[in-house]
Structure 1
Amino acid sequence: MFRILTTMLVPALLLASGVPAIARGDRDQDSLRDAAAQGQVIPLNRLIAEVRSRPPYSGMSYLGGPQFDPDRMIYALKFMDGAQVVIVYVDARTGRIVGRKP
Structure 2
Amino acid sequence: MVLTYATPMRMIVSLALLAAAPALAQAPDTQRRSDQERAYDARRRGDLLPNKVIEARVLPQMKGYEYLGFDIDFASGVYTLKFLRNGTVVWVDVDGRTGQIIGRTGR
C-alpha contact (below 8 Å) 1:63/1:80 kept by paired residues: yes
Measure how far apart 1:40 and its partner are.
Answer: 2.3
Q: 2:95 aligns with which of 70, 91, 95?
A: 91
What is the aligned partner in structure 1 of residue 83 from structure 2? Answer: 79
- Would you say 1:43 and 2:47 are equivalent positions? no
C-alpha contact (below 8 Å) 1:86/1:100 kept by paired residues: yes
Measure how far apart 1:38 and its partner are.
Answer: 3.2
Measure how far apart 1:23 and its partner are.
Answer: 1.9
> What runs of 5+ residues in structure 1 fail to find an aligned partner?
none
C-alpha contact (below 8 Å) 1:51/1:58 kept by paired residues: no
C-alpha distance 101-19 of structure 1, shift in aligned 2 (>3 A): farther
The RMSD of aligned alpha carbons is: 2.8
Letter in 2 for 1:62: Y
Q: Which runs of 4+ in 1 moved over 4 A?
A: none
Write the distance in 1 (CA, Å) between the matches of 2:89 and 2:25.
28
- Would you say 1:60 and 2:98 are equivalent positions? no
When Rg is computed on C-alpha atoms for both structures, the one with the higher figure is 2
Normalising by structure 1, what TM-score? 0.69
C-alpha contact (below 8 Å) 1:73/1:91 kept by paired residues: yes
C-alpha distance 18-48 of structure 1, shift in aligned 2 (>3 A): farther
Equivalent pairs: percent with the same residue?
A: 34
Aligned length: 92
> What runs of 5+ residues in structure 2 fail to find an aligned partner?
5-13
